[in-house]
Amino acid sequence: MAAFLRIKGFFNKLFSKKRSRVGIYGPPNAGKTTLANRIVRDVTGEALGPASEIPHETRRARRKEGVEISSGSGNKLMIDIVDTPGVTTKIDYHEFLEYGMDQDEAVARAREATEGVAEAMHWLREDIDGVIYVLDSTQDPFMHVNIMMIGIIEARKLPVVIVANKIDLPDASPQRIKSAFPQHPVVEISGLEGNNMEALYSKIAEVFK
């Protein structure tokens, strides 16, 4: 009986091993959706959702199931990718007016953005097994929201890969991100231009397996 149970346990592990659900997190406009689209497009040829220079374009989490990541060394890993709304402690609708939206549109976007942040936090609490934390390399990595999110991710013991994004920009400083988070792997990429994606895939395959 004990042997049977052990064998059953072995088969359960082998066949019903849950796919890791990897959440793409980070502040607004870090390039999360651009990166999610690139990963999903590289693998399946589809896109996850629209990216935009206007903050809070993504106001609902979007999920793509069964994305196969392969590393250069031949490691393969099947994951679900969740693109999440940017996390912030403040949302002022006036910001959206500057992009030519009218008052009603801007107010509606602000309302949805607040719900989006709450939704991102909810996914992180309940439904995420690992995190790709995306940072814009031209911005200050010590912004409190990053310190808080990495703190939450560490408290939940979730595996994390930090992405230093937008390295194609002249004032990018991925080194600043590396020295801010020396305890975690940091991969420098340009999600927009697709630079260094192979290094990211290898790291994903290694960290979320």
Ligand X SMILES: Nc1nc2c(ncn2[C@@H]2O[C@H](COP(=O)(O)OP(=O)(O)O)[C@@H](O)[C@H]2O)c(=O)[nH]1
Q: Name the segment binding Mg ion (CB under 5 A); options: 11-19, 29-37, 68-76, 188-196.
A: 29-37
**Largest interatomic CA distance in the chain:** 70
The one among 21, 54, 63, 114 contacting another protein by CB under 8 A: 114
Q: Minimum distance from CB of 177 to ligand X (Å)?
A: 13
Establish if 61 lies at the interface with another protein (CB under 8 A).
no
Pick out residues in 109-138 that bind Mg ion (CB under 5 A): none
Pick out residues in 72-111 that bind ligand X (CB under 6 A): 86
Q: Minimum distance from CB of 40 to ligand X (Å)?
A: 13
Please, which residue, 9 or 50, has the CB nearer to ligand X?
A: 50
Name, in order, each residue with C-beta under 8 angstroms of 132's C-beta and a sequence gap of 6 or more: 22, 23, 24, 25, 35, 160, 161, 163, 204
Q: Name the segment binding ligand X (CB under 6 A); options: 73-81, 115-123, 142-150, 166-174.
A: 166-174
108 burial level (CB within 10 Å; 0-12, 13-18, 19+): middle
Establish if 7 lies at the interface with another protein (CB under 8 A).
no
Establish if 170 lies at the interface with another protein (CB under 8 A).
no
d(CA 24, CA 35): 9
Q: Between the CA of residue 207 and those of 101, 111, 122, 159, what are the distances in Å?
A: 41, 35, 23, 7
Establish if 195 lies at the interface with another protein (CB under 8 A).
no
Q: Minimum distance from CB of 59 to another protein (Å)?
A: 12
d(CA 140, CA 198): 26
Establish if 101 lies at the interface with another protein (CB under 8 A).
no
Pick out residues in 14-73 that bind ligand X (CB under 6 A): 26, 28-34, 51-53, 57-58
**Contact assessment for residue 80 and residue 64, using Cβ atoms and an 8 Å cutoff:** yes
d(CA 146, CA 176): 13
Map 61-76 to HEC letters. Answer: CEEEEEEEEECCCCCE
Query: Is the Cα dihedral 128, 131, 134, 135 positive or negative?
Result: positive
Q: Minimum distance from CB of 153 to another protein (Å)?
A: 8
Q: Other C-beta atoms within 10 Å of 165: how many? A: 29
Please, which residue, 128 or 204, has the CB nearer to another protein?
A: 128
The one among 29, 33, 71, 146 contacting Mg ion by CB under 5 A: 33
Question: Torsion angle of alpha carbons 154, 22, 85, 32, nearest 10°?
Answer: 100
Contacting positions for another protein (CB under 8 A): 87-93, 106-107, 110-111, 114-115, 117-118, 121-122, 124-125, 140, 142-144, 147-148, 150-152, 154-155, 179-183
